[in-house]
């Protein structure tokens, strides 16, 4: 089991980026849909594993990506079998995640870092079987925004909602 020591501009490894990109695809699939049981543990475990400066083995990242894809097929089963995929629920691309020329890099990475930190606390609640569906939805919406935002102002409400978790 090898751990990646290569990091990118965000401070994350390529393995961590692969997990985030898969999560963005899941969040896109779950937009405006009920989040099924079993998705929250995958969401929070994955987010907790992608903190900048942390490490994630290739095998652990591959396992998380597989779990995320399974959840995506539950949330949106028709997408996997679609003869004309639109790409809407596809995994986000690492090059787009780490794009620095669109003015969104800092906010996107700040949002992902905050999600990762909060996910560690939520993961403890999941393990204690105390999931809060509203928090799960908030995190899913934040992950969606990490891949959807096209201007900085779109991040502000999500930063406020995450800050409210500390109150």
Contacts of 130 (CB under 8 A, 6+ apart): none
Lowest mean pLDDT, pick from 97-101, 110-114, 142-146: 97-101
Q: What is the pTM of this model?
A: 0.89
pLDDT tens by residue, 57-94: 999 999 999 999 999 999 988 877 777 777 778 899 99
Q: Is the pLDDT of residue 3 over 70?
A: no
């Amino acid at each position: 089991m090898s751990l990646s020591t290569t990091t990118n501009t965000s401070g994350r490894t390529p393995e961590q980026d692969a997990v985030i990109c898969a999560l963005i695809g899941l969040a896109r699939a779950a937009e405006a849909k009920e989040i099924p049981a079993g998705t929250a543990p995958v969401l929070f475990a994955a987010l907790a594993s992608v903190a900048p400066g942390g490490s994630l083995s290739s095998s652990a990242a591959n396992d998380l990506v597989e779990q995320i894809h399974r959840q995506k097929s539950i949330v949106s089963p028709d997408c996997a079998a679609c003869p004309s995929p639109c790409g809407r629920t596809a995994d986000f691309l690492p090059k787009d995640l780490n794009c620095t020329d669109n003015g969104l890099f800092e906010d996107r990475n700040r949002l992902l870092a905050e999600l990762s930190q909060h996910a560690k606390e939520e993961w403890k609640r999941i393990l204690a079987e105390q999931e809060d569906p509203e928090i799960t939805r908030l995190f899913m919406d934040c992950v969606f925004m990490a891949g959807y935002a096209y201007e900085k102002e779109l991040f502000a409400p999500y930063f406020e909602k995450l800050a409210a978790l500390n109150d």
